[in-house]
């Protein structure tokens, strides 16, 4: 259902808001890796996306946790997905790397910052964190 805006060079996946959960839940690092691995099985970009994209998420989640007291925590998923996923997504889609990087980074930032930040704030104010 979300494939048209979830698996191309523009990715507005609401689930990407969860990429910042390591800020308050370190146990979510592995959960995010497994979740992306399973989601990318359906994505259609093959083993590189399944394993590479999942590994990128694992590294981003770990860095998010390590910088959890800084605004950098919100940037790791945006930066790593934008620059690294684009290395294999751009050729697969037949578009320039820079175009893929820019569109992927912007769409990732919209979701991670636009939904992820309010999610973390809400969890903290509710005492769930």
Q: What is the pLDDT of residues 23-58, one digit of tens each?
A: 999 999 999 999 999 988 887 678 888 999 999 999
- Summarize the confidence of residues 69-98 as an average pLDDT: 95
Q: What is the pLDDT of residues 8-20, one digit of tens each?
A: 655 656 778 899 9
- With both helix axes pointing from N to C terminus, report the angle between 97-111 and 86-93 in degrees, rounded to the nearest 10: 120
| Exposure string for 60-75, b = 16+ CB within 10 A, e = fewer | bbbbbbebbeeeebbb
The residue written with tokens 């959890």 in the block is 68
- Summarize the confidence of residues 100-107 as an average pLDDT: 94
The residue written with tokens 């964190």 in the block is 129
Q: Is the pLDDT of residue 126 over 90?
A: no
pTM of the model: 0.87
Q: What is the pLDDT of residues 19-30, one digit of tens each?
A: 999 999 999 999
CA–CA separation, 91 and 71 (whole Å): 32
């Amino acid at each position: 259902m979300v494939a048209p805006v979830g698996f191309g060079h523009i990715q507005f996946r609401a689930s990407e808001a969860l990429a910042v959960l390591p800020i308050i839940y370190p146990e979510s690092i592995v959960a995010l890796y497994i979740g992306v691995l399973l989601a990318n099985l359906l994505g259609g970009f093959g083993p590189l996306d399944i394993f590479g994209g999942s590994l990128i998420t694992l590294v981003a989640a770990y860095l998010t946790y390590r910088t959890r007291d800084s605004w950098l925590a919100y940037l790791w998923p945006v930066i790593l997905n934008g620059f690294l996923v684009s290395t294999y997504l751009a050729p697969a889609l037949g578009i320039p790397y820079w175009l893929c990087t820019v569109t992927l980074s912007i769409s990732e930032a919209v979701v991670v910052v636009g939904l992820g930040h309010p999610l973390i704030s809400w969890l903290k104010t509710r005492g769930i964190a």
